[in-house]
Chains A and B, each alone.
Chain A
Amino acid sequence: MSDAMHDFTLTVNGQAYAIRVEARRTLADALREDCGLTGTHLGCEHGVCGACTVLMDGQPVRACLLFAVQAEGRAIRTVEGLAEGGALNPLQRAFAENHALQCGYCTPGFLMLGTAILETDPSISDEALVEALSSNLCRCTGYANIARAIRAAADAMSTEGAT
């Protein structure tokens, strides 16, 4: 156990949070408890379930496997940053329209994973999409509607982009 405290700034959804934490504090705990962003959920704390998935410099990462200090100087994005000016973004809308969530606990992780997929490979094949989604766990939906929602969001965004 270390008593050494670290003072630094976390940048989350474009906003700076000055925090003071122990070295052992995970990014997930720092987001939830030090930044008050409780949309990021913890399901296993050993890197399997993906409920805590956030984006770090655009890449999906497990917030439970990173220490907060490792995120210093990086751009972190969480579910709270998805809605644009209070309006749901196309991926969020697609999740609701396609019944891609039930209890909603794993949903923030899937939304962030889906965001990364849409940003890096918007025309991803169905096979690759399913493969990418297999990194996160959901116990309610059986996944099909989550894949459908991400596909629908990709379609909606390409239509919007074309007009």
Chain B
Amino acid sequence: MTATPATTRLVGRDVPRVEDAALIRGRGRFVDDIAPPGLLHAAFLRSPHAHAAIARIDAEAARALPGVHAVFTLADLAPYLTDTRLVVALPSPAYRQELHRPVLAQTEVVHVGEAVAVVVAESRHLAEDAAALVEVEYDPLPPVADCVAALEAGAPTAHRDASSNLAAELVLEYGAVDAVFATAPHRFAERLSVHRGGSHSIECRGVVARPDPLEDRLTVWSSTQTPHTAHRLLCDLLGLEERAIRVITPDVGGGFGPKLIFYPEEVVVALAARLLGRPVKWIEDRSEHFVATTQERDQSWDVELATDNEGRILGLRGTLVHDHGAWTARGVNIPQGAVSAMPLAYVVPTFRMAMKVAVTNKVPTTPVRGAGQPQGVFAMERLLDKAARGLGIDRAEIRRRNLVPGERMPYATPLKTRGGMQVVLDSGDYPRCQSMALEGADWAGFPERQRAARAQGRYLGIGIANYVEGTGRGPFEHVSVRIEPSGRIVVATGAAAMGQSTHTMLAQLVAEQLGGDMSRVQVIAGDTAAAPMGIGGSNSRQAVLAGSSAHVAATRVREKVLHVAATMLEAAEGDLEIEGDAVQVKGVPEMKVTLAAVARAVAGTPGFAIPGGRGPGLGASEEVVIDAMAYANGTAVAEVEVDAETGGVTINNLVFAHDCGNALHPRIVDGQLMGGIAHGIGNALFEHMRYDEEAQPTSTTLADYLLVTATEMPPVRILHMHSPTPLNPLGIKGVGEAGVIPVPAAIASAIEDALSPFGVRIAQVPLSPVDLLALIDPQASGSAA
């Protein structure tokens, strides 16, 4: 099927979202809204040091405070745990040391914010009061604050017993890259850096755990993107059988990556609830979020591009140092993703990137919206701008000459995914997409605008960046579709909703097949009791994987409904249609049987045959396996004005042309892109998670760490291409991360263009006004950035 509005009633249309009714009434149910009777509150005591040995923990005064039920250190919890570490690393041969983080720090703390103890009390206030009474004697150790310095000879180690700070190293390469460079007519080198930021969902993390003695079960509500992973880890760590724990993802107030990680607080709160026999809640506050929720993007790149005289790429090589933070909370997937994204839009005949992953005394890094891809695109696009300048070729033209052309699709690249599968660009027309963006932004007319502005002493610039994004990471997502005896349709999935309209997407796809009334469909997402397996939210994957499973399952249920109804109505299947709550003869709506009646007919009566002869029930369960990723693409063009006196940047216009295959819901697609674009603007200009030389975080409020507000948003024009992927039955590609990926690169390109009269070269993001002033006039500011 192709999901186009011409042939569908719901799919591909801007139907009302099923999530909205509760949320706009203030009736959402987020984790902090869950308050079972007898609830106790947890507060974590966190390390104030980036690196220190723990000499002693004395919790007696805290335990003695009225209203305090318990203070737990790792020593108190260890007897009830099968392992005191969170072993969550993705498989890779690249690791050079094991860095499984502890449930609580016991002998050494390795980043500010690492949890050392937990207090459980009658109220959050009391718990925090008591946490202040826990005495921890620390012996400070030398901290490692910078990932490049971390790998230098003689650097202190971020873990005192480690022999080095090298967490992992890996090389991605193909072709005789050095031989190509030896004879290439042109070589362009850059040293680039991208800095650390956070996801900053407006809802922080949180966990509520409730032991239920009647059912002998622990129910855990967590603001997580991966409830099934949390379930498995909780069962493993607490030594409980699967049925003894139920994990539920309630409404989640944004995820953007870090909520896919399993955190120490989740197991500590679950265990505390078991030990105390009372429900326990922990809600992260924003200051904790800055030091305890994973972050991303600190990377340092040394890269070089070889081209022929016409600007055609001959080779690409370099090295990358990636800041891993203090523990392995996910793996080496970010540097891998960054490097893989680098050449993806272009024909790059030879390639080698050597990655070193450095341990630092900072919050662990794991995917944040974009997951390395913004950095890889930034590196590639900076190189292409430099090559265009060096060769005297227009920046868009050099890209056009190198983009993978539409006629070569599917295009098998020599790259491999982290699972060792070949990267095959499945569909799309990248040069055409770039042309759309250029036209939308009036690229051709810009030099005149720039000249006119400069005549008035104003500095306008335009910039461009392309991206290709691997979306829909497999292997599967579970979806079951069942028509109940009431006639209502229940959909259960391992996918987890964190704001990306997952319920609407699934209800749309299922109702499309089963009567067209989304209000009859109830979607249960993120409940381990409702779905036996699941992977959850990451990698722009849920519409692709869960959507495909929902579509196939609903189609199977539809076939069975029509078959049974045909028997009941004594009509031919082909003459029937499902409309609302009934199956009817086409054109004769009074000849019908309700879905409820069909469901009851096949629910089984003792001693009687099931009508239709296709077995009982109206249900289907699917885990459609799609290993290959669907590659989405796009082009961002940004036009900026830079105030050379203040360093302030105004984005006058941003055009985003993209191709995510078919759109299930065009308005939701635009919404996902806009959110990503806003995040990308933040990464380009505002969001900088700062640490001092002692690895102390110095931007730990939203007044210091700036998120984009309404006034910083430029006019954005989104242009669409639809190249359906052959990889899934819906022809769709993921769109949740796309917006963020090319935007920092496009803005950097535009700023460099605006400031070309000053000879400014942009080699980093984010770019604050202070950074830009230093670049505009290094003498005046006293230092070059």
Interfacial residues, chain A to chain B (CB-CB below 8 A)? 1, 22, 24, 32-33, 37-46, 48-49, 51, 78-80, 82-83, 88, 92, 95-97, 99, 101-108, 111, 130-131, 133-147
Known: A97-B16, A103-B202, A104-B499. 20 other contacts (CB 8 A): A38-B33, A41-B32, A44-B285, A45-B286, A48-B702, A49-B202, A80-B25, A88-B24, A92-B24, A96-B17, A99-B17, A101-B24, A104-B253, A105-B253, A111-B24, A136-B709, A137-B202, A137-B702, A141-B674, A147-B710
Give the bracket for the number of chain B residues in contact with chain A: 35 or more
- Complex Cα–Cα for A51 and B703 (A): 15
Chain A residues, CB < 8 A from B667: 99
- Complex Cα–Cα for A37 and B33 (A): 9
Do the beta carbons of A41 and B674 come within 8 Å of each other? Answer: no
* CB contact between A46 and one of B33, B286, B679 (< 8 Å): that residue: B286
Which residues of chain B from 195 to 219 have a CB within 8 Å of any chain A CB? 199-204
Q: Is the interface of A mostly helix, strand, loop or mixed?
A: loop
Chain A residues, CB < 8 A from B44: none
Chain B residues, CB < 8 A from A39: 25-28
Do the beta carbons of B499 and A140 come within 8 Å of each other? Answer: yes
* CB contact between B286 and one of A43, A103, A140 (< 8 Å): that residue: A43
Chain B residues, CB < 8 A from A95: 20, 24
Do the beta carbons of A143 and B253 come within 8 Å of each other? Answer: no
Which residues of chain B from 427 to 465 have a CB within 8 Å of any chain A CB? none
Q: Could you say which of A82, A106, A140 has the most chain B C-beta atoms within 10 Å of its C-beta? A: A140
- Complex Cα–Cα for A138 and B254 (A): 10
Q: Could you say which of A79, A101, A102, A138 has the most chain B C-beta atoms within 10 Å of its C-beta? A: A102
Chain A residues, CB < 8 A from B221: none
Q: How far is the CB of B683 from chain A (nearest CB, A)?
A: 13
* CB contact between B26 and one of A43, A49, A79, A134 (< 8 Å): that residue: A79
* CB contact between A140 and one of B670, B675, B703 (< 8 Å): that residue: B675
Q: Does B469 contact A (CB under 8 A)?
A: no
Q: Given A46-B286, A104-B251, A137-B709, check contact A78 B26 (CB 8 Å).
A: yes
Chain B residues, CB < 8 A from A82: 24-26
Q: How far is the CB of B204 from chain A (nearest CB, A)?
A: 8
- Complex Cα–Cα for A91 and B102 (A): 48
Do the beta carbons of B709 and A134 come within 8 Å of each other? Answer: yes
Do the beta carbons of A102 and B500 come within 8 Å of each other? Answer: yes
Do the beta carbons of A142 and B286 come within 8 Å of each other? Answer: no
Do the beta carbons of B16 and A139 come within 8 Å of each other? Answer: no
Do the beta carbons of B498 and A38 come within 8 Å of each other? Answer: no
Interface 1/0 per residue, B19-47 and A, CB below 8 Å: 11111111110101101000000000000
Do the beta carbons of A108 and B674 come within 8 Å of each other? Answer: no
- Nearest residue (CB) in B for A43 is B202
Chain A residues, CB < 8 A from B25: 39, 79-80, 82-83, 88, 92
Q: Does B129 contact A (CB under 8 A)?
A: yes
Which residues of chain B from 281 to 319 have a CB within 8 Å of any chain A CB? 285-287
- Complex Cα–Cα for A141 and B739 (A): 11
Do the beta carbons of A104 and B674 come within 8 Å of each other? Answer: no
Q: Given A99-B667, A101-B20, A147-B710, check contact A44 B701 (CB 8 Å).
A: yes
Q: Does B711 contact A (CB under 8 A)?
A: yes
- Complex Cα–Cα for A80 and B254 (A): 21
Do the beta carbons of B710 and A102 come within 8 Å of each other? Answer: no
Could you jot down 5 A-B contacts, CB within 8 Å?
A43-B204, A44-B285, A105-B28, A107-B23, A134-B711
Do the beta carbons of A137 and B707 come within 8 Å of each other? Answer: yes
Q: Given A99-B17, A105-B253, A137-B702, check contact A144 B202 (CB 8 Å).
A: no
